[in-house]
Amino acid sequence: MQLTQFTDLGLRTVMRLAVLDAEETMSTQDVSAQLAVSYNHTTKVVTRLAELGVVAARRGRGGGVRLSATGRSASVGWIARELEGPGEVAQCEGPAPCPLRQACRLRGALREAQEAFFTVLDRFTVEDLARTPTGPVLLALGTR
């Protein structure tokens, strides 16, 4: 299974924020620069993370984004599920629907495998991802 770029960036964003002190904030511009991704894409991700309560964001002078208490303890599986949204691994419907869709066992197997993927991620929190050896690397991103 492959995560969308949106989810990948969301997880990297919360990892970067996890190494900050609890009340310390960071601008979305700095997050995007340090992770070497588009500012516009980062803004969309931060907006969604704020909607989920994973980050706290404040606009304007003195604003910034920080990981919330919920975000620190959230499971990676839950965040990934929320960012990925509902959907199937295999696209069986659409303009050219799969001719096997009425009797296919693959769709169910893929759905089960997808849930197993998220279940493994449920064992980890954002703080787990930001521990050594990753934490020092995340902190060093701001010193480049």
Range of lowest pLDDT (13-22, 34-43, 67-76, 81-90): 81-90
Q: What is the β-pairing status of strands 64-67 and 55-58?
A: antiparallel
pLDDT digits (tens, 9 = 90+) for 107-128: 889 889 999 999 999 999 999 9
Range 34-54 average pLDDT: 96
Q: In a 3-state reduction of DSSP, which class is residue 30?
A: helix
Report the C-alpha gap between 64 and 30 in whole angstroms: 10
Range 21-41 average pLDDT: 93
Report the C-alpha gap between 28 and 33 in whole angstroms: 9
From 42, 69, 43, select the one nearest 55 (Cα to Cα): 69
Q: How many CB atoms lie within 10 A of CB 11?
A: 20
What is the pLDDT, as a whole number, of residue 144? Answer: 57
